[in-house]
Amino acid sequence: MDMGISGFEPSFLVGFEAIRQAHGSRLAMLAGRRLTGFAVVRFAEDGEWFADCPVVLDFDGIQVEVCHWKLDELSIGWDGIDTAADIAGWEWSELTPQWSQRDERLEPFVGQELREVALLEWRPTGRDLAAGTVAVEFAFAGDRLRIANGLDENRIEVGEAQPDYVRHQLGC
């Protein structure tokens, strides 16, 4: 998967246990740090968020890069993406992707201390194509922020999680 993003080398995993084993302890160690910045990809022409690209969160100098792909794959990267570099190789599109530090869902969390991180597994009561997908939840003093699978793209959610999520708190 080449999106022309400098330093983006995704390693997609499927399922809660694989993601917890690969990233659980490192995610848990973010607790106590402040969210000092973020970056998302938007199109220069209309400002629309391109949800296929990773969401980059900076916690006091530790950069977490979250990207969902396909129906059930999740990549979590660490300190690899250069959000100051231009996104290249998009000649096939008439729109120009660029990094942005503007997002009304993420902006309220900047400056807040992270209380805990959890992995949330989607387990609906009935049949659901999204069953088993995993979201990464960041809990702050006043609210929660989740980067979830939007079925082949990222979805940013704020507030309490839907009841069909099973929360697996990390670091406890």
Above pLDDT 70, what percent of the chain?
A: 97
What is the spatial distance between Cα 1 and Cα 100, in angstroms, rounded to a whole number? 21
Place of tokens 């968020």: 49
Amino acid letter at 157? Answer: E
pLDDT tens-digit series, residues 77-107: 999 999 999 998 777 678 899 999 999 999 9
Torsion (CA) 149, 1, 117, 29 in degrees, nearest 10: 170
pLDDT tens-digit series, residues 111-150: 999 999 999 999 877 777 777 899 999 999 989 999 999 9
Mean pLDDT (the chain, rounded): 93
Give how far the C-alpha of residue 23 lies from the chain's centroid of Cα atoms, to the nearest Å.
13
Residue 81's alpha-carbon distances to 54, 99, 143, 154, in angstroms, are 9, 11, 27, 17
Signed CA dihedral, 122, 50, 35, 13: sign only? positive
What is the spatial distance between Cα 27 and Cα 56, in angstroms, rounded to a whole number? 14
